[in-house]
Amino acid sequence: MWSLVTSRGQRVALKSLPCVLGSDREAADVALPHSSISPAHARVEQQGDGLLISAIDGAALELDGQAVEQASLAHGDTLIIGRVTLRVADDQARATAPKRGAATGAGNQDAGDELQLRGAAAGAG
């Protein structure tokens, strides 16, 4: 199972894919209430053994320090949505897989305890 992990260690299981990440609790499956995040900011879907993230309407996304509109996600990647930093985790591979990039999060904020889930995407960490 895939998860997103905040810099504070809060783990959000992505149990139902595809899912939408955004600031609006009604429009998003995983709500990240932050002023830098659009109501429906990005879509995450299964792609083979991994994930694919796509910006919605040109929303700001960075993967391992590079601006992207669409990208494959791998275990250990650092994803910045707006100004919120999340680490991508494949819970089955996290003990053995090497990270593709280093998580710095410099200058970015973390949704921390404000991460809100609704529907089938909710998961405990």
Cα atoms found within 13 Å of the Cα of residue 40, Cβ hemisphere only: 11
> Domain limits of the chain?
2-116
Count of residues for the chain?
125
- Measure CA of the first residue to CA of the last residue in the chain; give whole Å: 12
| Chain segment 20-74, per-residue pLDDT in tens | 999 999 999 998 889 999 999 999 999 998 999 999 999 999 999 999 999 999 9
| Chain segment 60-82, per-residue pLDDT in tens | 999 999 999 999 999 999 999 99
Q: Count CB-CB contacts under 10 A for residue 14.
A: 25
Q: What is the CATH number of domain 2-116?
A: 2.60.200.20
Cα angle: 40, vertex 51, 95; to 5 degrees: 120
Please identify which residue in the block is written with the tokens 């680490």.
87
| Chain segment 87-112, per-residue pLDDT in tens | 999 988 755 545 555 444 444 555 54
